[in-house]
Structure 1
């Protein structure tokens, strides 16, 4: 397979060399036109001189009367720049042949505004006057795109061409005189390059548009934007845009050509940012690119209101910043090993060279020639092709990466359940008998909390290698992937479970004995940094019955592991996992939090005076079997001890705000929800900001959210807790003192903290009718709270007598099973609707 791969690469290199030869040979025929002007092909002698009118006030007759004052130097010596002024160019023509010569004068600047050409005789009299330029009307598209005039120089005569260049922006106007045949070669070469450029770019744009619809990646739209900007820019600079757009469009593009420059620069930076995936990192380089894009966008818009001679120098300065930022981003990615970005890096070479040649030629630093004139166009063409190759390489890499991640586990790099499922589907299609075999590392959850992630993965890989070695001795265990040299038979199902498939027709006892033998051969110890882990394994299997699906097959295999080692369960027989408060439960609880297996239930809080529901308390629940019977207080304690409490609190806050939004949508706009806070939550970074963002995210008013703090939470970090309560109060959120009477805080807490409500613990409320001491304590607490301006909520109301007693004691709110147990949000909404009708 490797030899075939090398052979195909060699063929691809040969094809590439052949294409380069064709391109080079074709280009050699295109770069020659400017070598064959009339002074090189006919006995016509030329001399050049010029005059620069900085005032722009000299008239034609004044110029004609002072032709001797012109500077007798070739036009290459002219100081072409963006300063507003007129250029007068004089070409003396001396035809020393014995016959008339037909020539074509080509003025290679299709962006010139006004170009007036005077054909003079030997006495400086005007023979003809021709007006060209993109601001002149009634010209043909050919005259717009290729400014030129045709004239005849009689035999043995001297004539002159006087040119007036009056333009804003790019003023350099190369003047070349050709014979008819040579001018046709020039136009042929130009048309060929223009056609190739436009054709390749349009095909690239269409192809990437198809890719966008298929892949939905924004980078393809940015790439298309770059292509369109390049076509507009080069169509204006070189003139072929007159054949692409309506005349009014092209004149608009040429008038604001600097805007096109900013557009191509902006798309270049946006493509660099998106292609290299900086938008995924949100680092300072990404922010720098965003700021530069905003700057270029603003400067581009300003070009509609300022003159081109002012806007162009600003753009060239910004271009330097663009190169610096892009080089910084590319360099960082190259150092991090972005091997698929090689084509993109190479694509910058022609762009940098071409972008440097264009302004150098326009300002006269580089001599004019056909090749130099079209260098930037060829550079963009090469860049677009290389960028297309870079995008293709990126797609290939992402596809390979996605396929690898879809079929391998991220940590151990072993095959995952996807390959196991593929093997199952193949066996089912062939109607072959097969057995799913599982090996599990006993107490892997506990071990994974002893080991770090890397060590846990190394443990699984070591056992998988040993298991693979054992399976390779038996032909009955099939390969799950056959296109690799290793031909692996094992799939990693995570959590220390390895799976493989036997296709041998055998009895359950025979398979059991074989798996027992394999299990006994697996490592009993695993060294980790000087420690010798003691390992044991559970095994199980499930026979494919041809009717159940893959998920059922796999589930039954797990059931065989759950009951006990070395035992297989028949299909469709479930077993409950024993639940104890250990580290495995903490891991399961953490996973439930990450995968949204938890939920919150609502228990209503009732206004004892009106009977109306004023709100509810959000209570955590874990409804998945076998965890639904676990004591929630114990889970909260477990979360605090394992560091999960902060994530849990933020998750409950998110769910509570979602539910408040549901209540508002149902018309319960005054309904409030209470959420419990722990002292551990003080460690949440920017807690107040997170609370504000969550409220804004769900469009929930702060007054509909309440927080409950237990007395024990007030003892630790008292100053921080006081500050937190003050911040919540300023935000408009009520803070409630929860479980009053069970803690050890003094009455000073009522002075230090800005509570709105005192919540009496249910231990004082349950049995209130029969315990006189409790009645005294509750009544005293209510009177004290009211004297301090606090509301009182009694928790644990379970009968009408208790409700009447609390109402007589003037408690404000009640909560308990007498009204409703805690129920899911959808059921609670129904309860609210019914309770509203009842009231």
Structure 2
């Protein structure tokens, strides 16, 4: 662990100790008032008795006149219940001191409906009558929240307090007598705990509301609902709710307090389901939880219309079911590795104990004390804090998980291109050498057609493991991520391509030799269900200059991988030279050049071998701008095809060719033809034949002067569309040429299905034609076949006079090649046509 991390951890521990110091100091000042009742602080003796009036028919006189009805026992022995009955409590006080005692009687049940206190002399003469309870009117908020009375007890006298408790619901009313000082301590302690409880919970609610607006996760709203329900319920039970709500609201809450209990239980289960993400699983446990939620909702609504003494026992039964369901939900997730839920599990510990203490204290199973009275409140406070910590831990985990998924591939769990980019940018900022090394499992995409995706991922992980091991031996490969367990140098770019960065300044041959050494140690075989796959690898190298961005650098690497040689351990490189890269900005410039007519057509002549006269020319696209002079026609067409502007480009070429045909006619060459190349992408042009016809009409030129040369890629991609196009063009009178005849696997079949006017023999058969008898046979056969089918034939790639004469002897129709001329700009081509003397001298030279 880093020194800085240790330092911050030490600061955090110091803050935690300081917080516990504050809590301990505050706790020491919050005394336990029930330890200091008047019988423990003064010579005042108390005698207890009680009677339960089950029929609710007796009056004060009835009780006083029949002392034999009383049960002389401590109030803690009263069998409190939710039954509708009256409780008569007798408290005899005898002051044996020599001074008068001012006494405060505290009745710790702010939810009691009617509490009547009769203050009597020893002879049962009424001194005063007090009426308390939430059904009484004109009481102060203090009397509602802390029911109490004040009276004096003279020295060496005896008095009696008789309490009549008439309520529906919670009837247990603990009675404690204090001196003024101890009562003030009671109020101060209660108020302190209430303030802490409400303050912490409200701050937690506000904070999580902010989080909800930021994260939009419903679990925060459920958490806030739980907090509000807890404040409402505890405010009713303990009395501080009178200071939170309007009086009418609080009195209504007292009457329907079981509804608030259902609310807190409802949000408890909802939070459990949402926090543990069962709403994503939709399993039987989720359905069980939802069913219980519906049941609690129905029972909560019913509790609004059912007396509290009936609905309360039902609720306590539901609580038992709630705990069982939550335990099942939590246990399942813990088994599946929800390590981030530890604080949530801990939050149940205080809740379970606190929730058990409250009903046990209310029903008399636990003796009353200040501690037991506030145990559930403290338990909820601890639970809410732990739940907040659980939510924070969940957010941290989700952030780590999101970061993990952002930096790792989902299938192989290896680093992805984002980590590669981060490392690249860091190295660029340090002005260090950055050479991208791509290693690809050859034919990986083809393998995916015969193996399952999971088997493909397993293969990639198997190779990556060994590759990572090999890279770890070479310090020049940068570490992409550092953690306590691993220091990976490898990134997975998918499709069997892995990437690493070399930071060593070295010549390319040295790096290539090292990479070949590394891939020689990679697995050569991989078994899948008894099949031994033979594995080979390709390498691509891309160096970067300081002004290169990551995408440009990576694209160069893929280009190097694509251009790698076809050998067992093929390797290719893409240096940072002047070669243009295919990118969107270049395509945009090309499209702008098309729109602004900044491109040009160069023409390579096609010679009639019978009279050595130029009969036509093939139009070849060029970009005259010096900035793009190194861009070949193949790269230009590829760029146009990949970016979807090939159709714009083709229509421009056709129209420009037609304009040049008009120029040739005006210059005295009315029968000169021009050939334009078409590719498979051009078939996507809607109504191409109709557009060509419109161009011919526009420039008023004969259709016979325009030819279209079709490459085999067009035939393979769309047979039906191409047959129709060839027929439509033929119907217009345009000649259609089968280009590169002899190189395709099905060229002969094309002659059957398409109505061509001409064949064009590929130059690969012509370069060594005079010295290659096999090629001579092939070319002669093609010429004879074309003539027998009524087609003319053009031979391209003619570079020597010997080849020229040989083709003439073979009875070929036309020839094209550097022997006659290279591709020339239109103006230069016109000059060439006007000076054809060199062509006429071809025959005389032999």
Q: What is the rounded CA distance, in whole Å, between the counterparts of 1:335 and 1:353 in structure 2?
A: 24
SS in 1 for 2:111: coil
Tell whether the 8 Å contact from 1:556 to 1:571 is kept in structure 2 after alignment. Answer: no
SS in 1 for 2:50: strand
Residue 556 of structure 2 is aligned to residue 556 of structure 1 = yes
Alpha-carbon deviation of 1:176? 0.6
SS in 1 for 2:581: coil
* 2:238 matched residue in structure 1: 238
Q: What is the rounded CA distance, in whole Å, between the counterparts of 2:217 and 2:62 in structure 1?
A: 63
* 2:349 matched residue in structure 1: 349
Tell whether the 8 Å contact from 1:48 to 1:72 is kept in structure 2 after alignment. Answer: yes
User: Aligned ranges for residues 642-681 of structure 1 at < 5 Å?
Assistant: none
SS in 2 for 1:237: helix
Change in 2 beyond 3 A, CA 1:239/1:632: farther
Q: What is the rounded CA distance, in whole Å, between the counterparts of 1:460 and 1:253 in structure 2?
A: 64
Q: What is the rounded CA distance, in whole Å, between the counterparts of 1:630 and 1:559 in structure 2?
A: 25
Q: What is the rounded CA distance, in whole Å, between the counterparts of 1:182 and 1:476 in structure 2?
A: 77
Alpha-carbon deviation of 1:523? 3.4
Residue 540 of structure 2 is aligned to residue 535 of structure 1 = no
Residue 185 of structure 2 is aligned to residue 185 of structure 1 = yes
Alpha-carbon deviation of 1:107? 0.2
Residue 572 of structure 2 is aligned to residue 567 of structure 1 = yes
Alpha-carbon deviation of 1:100? 1.1
SS in 2 for 1:135: coil
* 1:334 matched residue in structure 2: 334
Alpha-carbon deviation of 1:104? 0.3
User: Aligned ranges for residues 292-331 of structure 1 at < 5 Å?
Assistant: 292-331=292-331
* 1:393 matched residue in structure 2: 393
Cα RMSD of the aligned pairs, angstroms, is 3.2
With normalisation by structure 2, the TM-score equals 0.65
* 1:252 matched residue in structure 2: 252
* 1:116 matched residue in structure 2: 116
SS in 2 for 1:331: helix
From the CA coordinates, give the structure whose radius of gyration is larger. 2
* 2:139 matched residue in structure 1: 139
Alpha-carbon deviation of 1:482? 4.1
* 2:745 matched residue in structure 1: none
Change in 2 beyond 3 A, CA 1:209/1:362: same
Q: What is the rounded CA distance, in whole Å, between the counterparts of 1:632 and 1:246 in structure 2?
A: 83
Q: What is the rounded CA distance, in whole Å, between the counterparts of 1:423 and 1:628 in structure 2?
A: 46
Alpha-carbon deviation of 1:66? 3.4
* 1:341-395 Cα deviation digits (max 9, x unpaired): 1221121111111111111111111111111111111111111111122222222
SS in 1 for 2:58: coil
Q: What is the rounded CA distance, in whole Å, between the counterparts of 1:552 and 1:5 in structure 2?
A: 37
Change in 2 beyond 3 A, CA 1:174/1:515: same
Q: What is the rounded CA distance, in whole Å, between the counterparts of 1:233 and 1:339 in structure 2?
A: 32
Change in 2 beyond 3 A, CA 1:427/1:24: closer
Tell whether the 8 Å contact from 1:438 to 1:557 is kept in structure 2 after alignment. Answer: yes
SS in 2 for 1:501: strand
Change in 2 beyond 3 A, CA 1:174/1:458: same
SS in 1 for 2:440: strand
Tell whether the 8 Å contact from 1:91 to 1:162 is kept in structure 2 after alignment. Answer: yes
* 1:678 matched residue in structure 2: none
* 1:736 matched residue in structure 2: none
Mean Cα deviation higher: 210-219 or 290-299 = 210-219
Q: What is the rounded CA distance, in whole Å, between the counterparts of 2:715 and 2:79 in structure 1?
A: 86
* 1:230-266 Cα deviation digits (max 9, x unpaired): 1111111001111222222222221211111001000
Residue 80 of structure 2 is aligned to residue 80 of structure 1 = yes
SS in 2 for 1:438: strand
Alpha-carbon deviation of 1:15? 6.6
Change in 2 beyond 3 A, CA 1:8/1:527: farther
* 2:657 matched residue in structure 1: none
Alpha-carbon deviation of 1:442? 0.5
Alpha-carbon deviation of 1:22? 6.1
* 1:210 matched residue in structure 2: 210
Q: What is the rounded CA distance, in whole Å, between the counterparts of 1:508 and 1:245 in structure 2?
A: 79
* 1:788 matched residue in structure 2: none
* 1:468 matched residue in structure 2: 468
* 1:780 matched residue in structure 2: none
Alpha-carbon deviation of 1:228? 1.0
User: Aligned ranges for residues 337-416 of structure 1 at < 5 Å?
Assistant: 337-416=337-416
* 2:71 matched residue in structure 1: 71
Q: What is the rounded CA distance, in whole Å, between the counterparts of 1:528 and 1:363 in structure 2?
A: 69
Q: What is the rounded CA distance, in whole Å, between the counterparts of 1:453 and 1:3 in structure 2?
A: 44
Tell whether the 8 Å contact from 1:31 to 1:371 is kept in structure 2 after alignment. Answer: no
Change in 2 beyond 3 A, CA 1:312/1:516: same
Q: What is the rounded CA distance, in whole Å, between the counterparts of 2:359 and 2:469 in structure 1?
A: 67
Q: What is the rounded CA distance, in whole Å, between the counterparts of 1:229 and 1:509 in structure 2?
A: 73
Alpha-carbon deviation of 1:20? 5.5
Q: What is the rounded CA distance, in whole Å, between the counterparts of 2:61 and 2:174 in structure 1?
A: 24
SS in 2 for 1:368: coil
* 1:421 matched residue in structure 2: 421
Tell whether the 8 Å contact from 1:134 to 1:251 is kept in structure 2 after alignment. Answer: yes
Alpha-carbon deviation of 1:421? 1.6
Alpha-carbon deviation of 1:485? 6.0
Q: What is the rounded CA distance, in whole Å, between the counterparts of 1:320 and 1:492 in structure 2?
A: 51
SS in 2 for 1:436: strand
Tell whether the 8 Å contact from 1:256 to 1:303 is kept in structure 2 after alignment. Answer: yes
Alpha-carbon deviation of 1:65? 3.4
Q: What is the rounded CA distance, in whole Å, between the counterparts of 1:469 and 1:377 in structure 2?
A: 58
* 2:49 matched residue in structure 1: 49
Tell whether the 8 Å contact from 1:114 to 1:165 is kept in structure 2 after alignment. Answer: yes
Residue 157 of structure 2 is aligned to residue 157 of structure 1 = yes
SS in 2 for 1:566: strand
Q: What is the rounded CA distance, in whole Å, between the counterparts of 2:714 and 2:506 in structure 1?
A: 38
Tell whether the 8 Å contact from 1:480 to 1:488 is kept in structure 2 after alignment. Answer: yes
Mean Cα deviation higher: 129-138 or 20-29 = 20-29
User: Aligned ranges for residues 757-776 of structure 1 at < 5 Å?
Assistant: none
Q: What is the rounded CA distance, in whole Å, between the counterparts of 2:375 and 2:186 in structure 1?
A: 16
Tell whether the 8 Å contact from 2:31 to 2:185 is kept in structure 1 after alignment. Answer: no
* 1:433-453 Cα deviation digits (max 9, x unpaired): 533221100011343455555
Tell whether the 8 Å contact from 1:556 to 1:573 is kept in structure 2 after alignment. Answer: no
Alpha-carbon deviation of 1:197? 1.2
Tell whether the 8 Å contact from 1:31 to 1:370 is kept in structure 2 after alignment. Answer: no
Tell whether the 8 Å contact from 1:81 to 1:170 is kept in structure 2 after alignment. Answer: yes
Change in 2 beyond 3 A, CA 1:351/1:629: farther
Tell whether the 8 Å contact from 1:233 to 1:261 is kept in structure 2 after alignment. Answer: yes
Q: What is the rounded CA distance, in whole Å, between the counterparts of 1:72 and 1:470 in structure 2?
A: 90
* 1:107 matched residue in structure 2: 107
Change in 2 beyond 3 A, CA 1:141/1:451: same
Tell whether the 8 Å contact from 1:117 to 1:161 is kept in structure 2 after alignment. Answer: yes
SS in 1 for 2:71: coil
Residue 43 of structure 2 is aligned to residue 34 of structure 1 = no
* 1:620 matched residue in structure 2: none
User: Aligned ranges for residues 602-751 of structure 1 at < 5 Å?
Assistant: 630=717
Q: What is the rounded CA distance, in whole Å, between the counterparts of 1:131 and 1:9 in structure 2?
A: 58
How many residue pairs align between the two structures?
Answer: 589
Mean Cα deviation higher: 426-435 or 497-506 = 426-435
Q: What is the rounded CA distance, in whole Å, between the counterparts of 1:21 and 1:45 in structure 2?
A: 40
Tell whether the 8 Å contact from 1:110 to 1:239 is kept in structure 2 after alignment. Answer: yes
Alpha-carbon deviation of 1:407? 1.0
